[in-house]
Amino acid sequence: MSDITDPLTQEFQAPSPREMLKQRAKGHLGLLTGLGIVGLLALVAIFAPLLAPHDPYAQSLMTRMEPPVFLGGDWDHPLGTDHLGRDYLSRLIYGARVSLMIGAIAALISGVIGTTMGVAAGYFGGKVDAFVTFLINVRLAMPVVLVALAVVAILGGSLTVVICVLGLLLWDRFAVVMRASTLQISRRDYIAAARAVGASTPRILLTEIMPNIFNNLIVVITLEMAHAILLEATLSFLGLGVQPPTPSWGLMVSEGKNMMLFEPWLVLIPGAVLFVLVLAINLMGDGLRDVTAPENRS
Amino acid sequence: MLPFILKRLGLALLVAFTVSFISFSLLFLSGDPAAALAGETASGEDIEAIRTLYGFDRPMMVQYGEWLFSAVRGDFGESYYFKLPVASLITDRLQVTMLLGLCGITFALLTAVPLGVAAAIRPNSMIDRLALFLSVAGQALPSFWFGLILIVLFSIKFQILPPSGAESWRHFVMPTIVLGYYAMPAIMRLTRAGMLDVLNSDYIRTARAKGAGEGRVLFKHALRNAIIPVVSLAAVQMGFMLGGSIVVESVFALHGAGYLAWESIARNDLPTVQALILIFSMFYITFTFLADVLNAWLDPRMRSA
């Protein structure tokens, strides 16, 4: 019991910023819920081969359109089978891979593009800023879904094409947010101090600016990942995204649409999972913003 | 004010010009538009014939210049698939899309503004939480899925609304909701934040101190000021929504410009696709320009930006 010391002699220590962050995170219900669901779905995606009861591509004409368990089906196919007799649960599980992979890679690509542009605009200002702002305006003027559909139609819908198209289209929010954050940071005294002691521009950008806008970057990455996942599903639903027989949730909704009249669950289940994933990522992003920058809470 | 407008107009034109170049360049993404147009079974001679027929053998910049010059005069060439002038094809379909966009933004404003105001009057109350929940959930809801759910509920289960078509106002109810909810979260958040801001200001305290009734304070003094940024946001959202109508129109088989875009993309009808991308962009550019001007007119501080 030697760790009990007299409180009067103990030196008072203010909690470190990291500890305060942890405290705030622990009390944030939305962040915890979001993290929990995203973590769970990420695990499902990683361990898909172990978790899926059947091969997601295996067709069986004898067992087509079997209903899920809660609609009177049997436990061999807990969520039923689709119009080709493929196990719906297995396709959902593998679909998590498609969604999360596309979302993560697209967000990373657009993150690199947008952050580079935003930081350059915010730090250098002047003509660079004007040019980046112009590019942002051009990008915002292009209708995303329409352009993405057209490009995918021309180049053919493969996973790579969809990821690249989304990555090249979704950098606007990164650029806007990173530009504003950099603008704010580069006016601080410690940047002037770094410059005064002769730090080079790359050094200032990497060791002074980047660490200070990193929190905002993480928030935008999560929100844009959600955006990319929604867009992939939309493109696949419209038939110009990920191509069959890949198990994409948007594609599953689209395939189920024709049988919606009799078997609405074919549409309801994949859409609901998509909704939950995107909601969880958004909750996570909003939560991260609250926790890392409590002063910006709206 | 005039220098501001001219500057913004110049910028808008420059953006429009760049967008026109990008949408034209899309045609060349496939490498050889003539081969793409001829199809996979075409012989080399067929491809050459198409190349000269459509003028693909000329330098790209020449083709772009010609295309832009005609586009400015409202001539977007002939649709490969419909064999009709693209311009007349689009103007026919645009009415449905414009109507849908107007209904959508009206729906969004009529639901989001009252909700935002109610949430701001009582922060952290049940209604504030409901508003927050709706805006978070709204951003995560895939619009194509939301549309299908509405069809399952109102067309299949209760059979009170038609699932597709555009013959009567009843055909527009579900598409309006699906398109409108898309703009709701942003409008609601901005209304709420604006109202909260304004309600804490000195002139509201003054109005209360002078004995103005609560309704008068809220609507005459507070909302009037808080609504200014909302109006310009609504204009920007309208531009976004027209571009987003492609999803809604294909879910509800509403034959507007969005549906036409989907059809022509699926059919490799590039002149129509190019024209539609350009036109949807122009809508966005026009609406943001109007929003900027409106903002500057209402709030002179914005004019320096």
Of the residues A138, A168, A240, A284, the best mutation for testing chain B's interface (the one with the most B CB atoms within 10 Å of its CB) is A138
Which domain, by its residues, includes A35?
A: 27-47+79-292
Q: Between A and B, how many CB-CB pairs are < 8 A?
A: 131
In this structure, are residues B24 and B281 in contact, taking their beta carbons and an 8 Å threshold? Answer: no
Nearest by CB: A150 against B143, B189, B273: B273
For residue A122, pLDDT over 80 is answered with: yes
**Yes or no, beta carbons of B148 and A238 under 8 Å apart:** no
Report pLDDT for A298: 42
Query: Do the interacting molecules here have an ipTM over 0.90?
Result: no
Q: Which residues of A touch B93 (CB under 8 A)?
A: none
pTM metric for this prediction: 0.89
Q: Is A207 helix (H, G, I), strand (E, B) or coil?
A: helix
Asked if residue A7 belongs to a domain, the reply is no
Structural domain total, chain A = 1
Q: Is A94 helix (H, G, I), strand (E, B) or coil?
A: helix
Asked if residue B58 belongs to a domain, the reply is no
Asked if residue A134 belongs to a domain, the reply is yes
- State the CATH number of the domain containing residue B195: 1.10.3720.10
Asked if residue A4 belongs to a domain, the reply is no
Which domain, by its residues, includes B262?
A: 93-268
What angle, 0 to 180 degrees and rounded to 10, lies between the N-to-C axes of helices B60-72 and B270-298?
60
A144 to chain B: closest CA residue: B243
Asked if residue B45 belongs to a domain, the reply is no
- pLDDT, tens digit, 9 for 90 and up, residues A64-90: 777 887 877 787 788 888 888 788 898
Chain A contacts in chain B segment 21-50 (CB below 8 A): 22-23, 26, 29-30, 36
Question: Which residue's structure tokens are 């007299």?
Answer: A6
In this structure, are residues B72 and B279 in contact, taking their beta carbons and an 8 Å threshold? Answer: no
- pLDDT, tens digit, 9 for 90 and up, residues B26-54: 877 766 767 766 666 777 777 777 777 77
Cα separation, B8 vs B304, whole angstroms: 11
Asked if residue A105 belongs to a domain, the reply is yes
Asked if residue A60 belongs to a domain, the reply is no
Sequence-distant (≥ 6) Cβ neighbours of residue A265 within 8 angstroms: A67, A68, A71, A80
Nearest by CB: B145 against A142, A226, A274: A274
Report pLDDT for B79: 83
Q: Which residues of chain B carry a pLDDT beneath 70?
A: 30-31, 33, 36-40, 304-305
Structural domain total, chain B = 1
Asked if residue A190 belongs to a domain, the reply is yes
Report pLDDT for B206: 87
Asked if residue A15 belongs to a domain, the reply is no
Question: Minimal CA–CA distance to B141: which of B179, B187, B190, B95?
Answer: B179
Asked if residue B243 belongs to a domain, the reply is yes
Asked if residue B44 belongs to a domain, the reply is no
- State the CATH number of the domain containing residue A167: 1.10.3720.10
- pLDDT, tens digit, 9 for 90 and up, residues B211-234: 888 888 888 788 888 888 888 888
Asked if residue A74 belongs to a domain, the reply is no
